[in-house]
Structure 1
Amino acid sequence: MKPKSKESIVIIGGGPAAMMLACTLDPILFDVTIVEKGKAIGRKFLVAGKGGFNLTHSEDIDKMIEKYEGPKSLLDSLSSFTNNDLRHWLSSIGIETYIGSSKRVFPIKGIKPIAVLRAIKKEIERKGITLLKETLWYGSFIENSSIQLLHKEKNISLKADKVIFALGGGSWKITGSDGCWLPHFKKNNVATLPFRPSNCAMCINWPENVKVHFGKPIKNIALTYNDTYIKGEMMVTKHGIEGSPAYALSYYVGNELESKKSITVFVDLKPSLSLEKVNSILSKSHKKISKLLRDELSLSSTAVALIKSATTREEFNDVKLLTHCIKKLPLSIIGLEEIDNAISTVGGIKSTAMDKHFELINFPNHYTIGEMINWNAPTGGYLLQGCLSMGYALGKYLNRKHQI
């Protein structure tokens, strides 16, 4: 049987999903071109490396998948390219990893984010992939086996049997991830949702007594919204609250804020103690309440300020009511921080617009992966793992499909 001729694949975007896809596609089967509008690929990849390069999480993959909200194609890709698979793949390109105390996975000491990116770029070069920088996609789809692009302000045509869009979400514009592509898809009747922030700070209209505490953390708290309960540290800022618990709840709070002006979340200021234990400590001492909170419960002045902002003077001096406030302090969330400051976004291409292999139903041979798709995951390595798994899964699928 005559072997199939090589196909031309154009990957539009140079983020994590795009780079993993490029590394996975078989160069014997495909001529691959990565189109990047900036001067270098992997800029958002480097952003993920600020403050410690958290590559993935080490928990059991079935438990890990439960943390994701998104289409089945995403969940299937996580099963086909797991966190352990990612660690093995990184090792194969010279990047060894270790599991930190938080069960997050990092490059071993001494390996900086730029070194990880260089190793991936080297793999892309080894595959013979063409990199076309400073090239803009402005809304074209495949016509006559080619796609129209703008390279350094000049129109060019690239041969394309298949196009994979990996244009990113709606935050971190400085990295090229600006969401400007969304209207082009909407105009062509591809089902989309507006972008909104996720994994972000939540906005609160603070009373005067809290303002002197801006920039101060409250450690060892738990934040609750409905049935979601997240322990960690909370930072009080002029806009509201930041920190891992706030980021984790922002997706669910954002869903509700679509139809409501405000949402109440609750802070447990002493998650290590039961309601009864807190009540017992407060009841047995004759100290002044403020000293009692500081000395017996180790609550910071910032935590006490939040308690005072949520209680009247009478309630503050009532042990039973004070106990309830310590264990379930209400905070009124009036919004989420602006989208460009968010760690990630939700919105973009709806799951109904594509099949189980990320192919657009209305546009055969056009695929979308990464943060373009409407999905959510917490911080802690889950976001990067999701993007890399999608790139890998699509690459393997296209390799198989070409050989059938």
Structure 2
Amino acid sequence: MKQSVRQVHVIGAGPAGLMAAERLALAGLAVVVHDRMPSVARKFLMAGRGGLNLTHSEPLDRFVTRYGPTQTSVSRWIDAFTPAELTAWVEGLGQPTFVGSSGRVFPRAMKASPLLRAWLVRLEGRGVEIRTRSRWTGWRDGALVFETPDGERLERPDAVVLALGGASWPRLGSDGAWKPWLETAGIAVAPFRPANVGFDLDWSPRFRERFAGQPLKGVAVTHGDKTVRGEAMVARYGIEGGAVYALSARLRGTLEAGGRADIHIDLRPDVAIGKLTDRLSKPRGKASLSNHLRKAAGLEPVAVALLHEAGPLPAQPRALAERIKGLTLTLTGVQGLERAISSAGGVALEGVDEQLMLTARPGVFVAGEMLDWEAPTGGYLLQASFASGVVAAHGLMAWLDSRD
């Protein structure tokens, strides 16, 4: 007799869930994807609004260090689906890519919507069924329970991939509401904390009103023994941007431990302090100090105003150069999950095997930001999310094969 096709369900239609669904469908399984929102991949679309940073082109041995304490686990996912493979997959969907000056990889369209449209067409062609407005609410008597517009629905697939995201940007679908359902099933879930997030800072009212929303380009931000080059952004509440996000895990830890955290900003990291001192030592004539700083030090108005925020400017060129090269700002708090790009916390990595199956619940696999890992922006978040979906799908297929 002909064996019936195995049916698997994927809960969560973000990058990790859709990638798992594609791999499972390619293997000939009947795949149903659930998402509680009216449309899929809303956070993915939002991430692409400013230019979809897919991955990074740096060498893999350096790439995997971006995952901090979870490097050992996440590097196995990256081995299963490398940045080169992700780039080839995107181009296979008809979306050419390019490498930016910083090494980051983008689609030429610079947004997520064309990629997502092509991806959904491919998934439909492979028989993947997507059910929107289908909210998973846990298990009952071994069955998955869903709330739908037509009422409650119970499903008993052969296996399942959970890819419901973390708890950042909850209005886009990832609200972390699944946490108690897993904990009730005996699965350890670490508390959610904001990652890749801005920090509070007590700006003067004048500075806040004039400069909120303006970037500090090409700066170097230091906390402790770690320095990150990039861009920071003045916000009404404080400071944000890529260079700050890359330090967010360390800064969050310092704030949790002591309530305050200092960062040091080098406004001209490419100019040595001696050379900067020489430039500032030149007579300024009738030019104002602000114009002198703009011409001699190459500082934008927002950077000059930031120097004033730290107190009266020193008159000596050397002391002024030292402030430009090491401006200290004191952070007083961290923004919440609703403003965070991603979240730390989630299903403990100790609670899943190397194929991302829950050890406490065989046949249930977990992918994406549901797991307790974090990474800076720059392509590292999306790369690991896609890769975890591949690992979970391959693990699920191996588990089904072992049962056969």
TM-score, with normalisation over the residues of structure 2? 0.91
Is the Cα–Cα contact under 8 Å of residues 26 and 399 in structure 1 kept in the other structure? no
Q: Distance in 2 between matches of 1:219 and 1:91?
A: 31
1:184 aligns to what?
Answer: 181
Per the alignment, do residues 25 and 206 of structure 1 end up closer, same or farther by CA in structure 2, a change over 3 Å counting?
same
Is the Cα–Cα contact under 8 Å of residues 4 and 403 in structure 1 kept in the other structure? no
CA shift digits 1:286-329 (9 cap, x unpaired): 65654432221122332222222223x4x622444333221111
* Secondary structure in 1 matching 2:384: helix
1:173 aligns to what?
Answer: 170
* Secondary structure in 2 matching 1:156: strand
2:353 aligns to what?
Answer: 355
Is the Cα–Cα contact under 8 Å of residues 17 and 389 in structure 1 kept in the other structure? yes
* Secondary structure in 2 matching 1:139: strand
Shift of 1:162: 1.5
Q: Confirm whether residue 296 of structure 1 aligns to residue 296 of structure 2.
A: yes
Is the Cα–Cα contact under 8 Å of residues 228 and 246 in structure 2 kept in the other structure? yes
Of 150, 153, 159 in structure 2, the residue corresponding to residue 156 of structure 1 is 153
Structure 1: which 5+ runs fail to align?
none
Q: Distance in 2 between matches of 1:391 and 1:235?
A: 32
* AA of the residue aligned to 2:295: D
Is the Cα–Cα contact under 8 Å of residues 71 and 351 in structure 1 kept in the other structure? no
1:97 aligns to what?
Answer: 97
2:275 aligns to what?
Answer: 277
1:33 aligns to what?
Answer: 32
1:52 aligns to what?
Answer: 51
1:108 aligns to what?
Answer: 108
* AA of the residue aligned to 2:230: G
* Secondary structure in 1 matching 2:230: strand
1:119 aligns to what?
Answer: 118
1:255 aligns to what?
Answer: 253
The count of residues paired between Structure 1 and Structure 2 equals 398
Q: Distance in 1 between matches of 2:335 and 2:357?
A: 32
Per the alignment, do residues 97 and 284 of structure 1 end up closer, same or farther by CA in structure 2, a change over 3 Å counting?
closer
2:314 aligns to what?
Answer: 316
* Secondary structure in 2 matching 1:23: helix
Per the alignment, do residues 373 and 147 of structure 1 end up closer, same or farther by CA in structure 2, a change over 3 Å counting?
same
* Secondary structure in 2 matching 1:325: helix
TM-score, with normalisation over the residues of structure 1? 0.91
Bigger shift: 209-218 or 197-206?
209-218
2:202 aligns to what?
Answer: 205
Shift of 1:224: 0.8
CA shift digits 1:227-281 (9 cap, x unpaired): 2212223222221112211121122211222222110000001111122222333
1:84 aligns to what?
Answer: 84
Q: Distance in 2 between matches of 1:125 and 1:172?
A: 28
CA shift digits 1:205-233 (9 cap, x unpaired): 11345233323323221111122212223
* AA of the residue aligned to 1:403: D
Shift of 1:78: 0.6
Structure 2: which 5+ runs fail to align?
none
* AA of the residue aligned to 1:164: V
Q: Distance in 2 between matches of 1:125 and 1:208?
A: 53
Per the alignment, do residues 238 and 278 of structure 1 end up closer, same or farther by CA in structure 2, a change over 3 Å counting?
same
* Secondary structure in 1 matching 2:265: strand
Q: Percent of aligned positions with the same letter in both sequences?
A: 34
2:22 aligns to what?
Answer: 23
Q: Distance in 1 between matches of 2:219 and 2:353?
A: 42
* AA of the residue aligned to 2:78: L
2:239 aligns to what?
Answer: 241
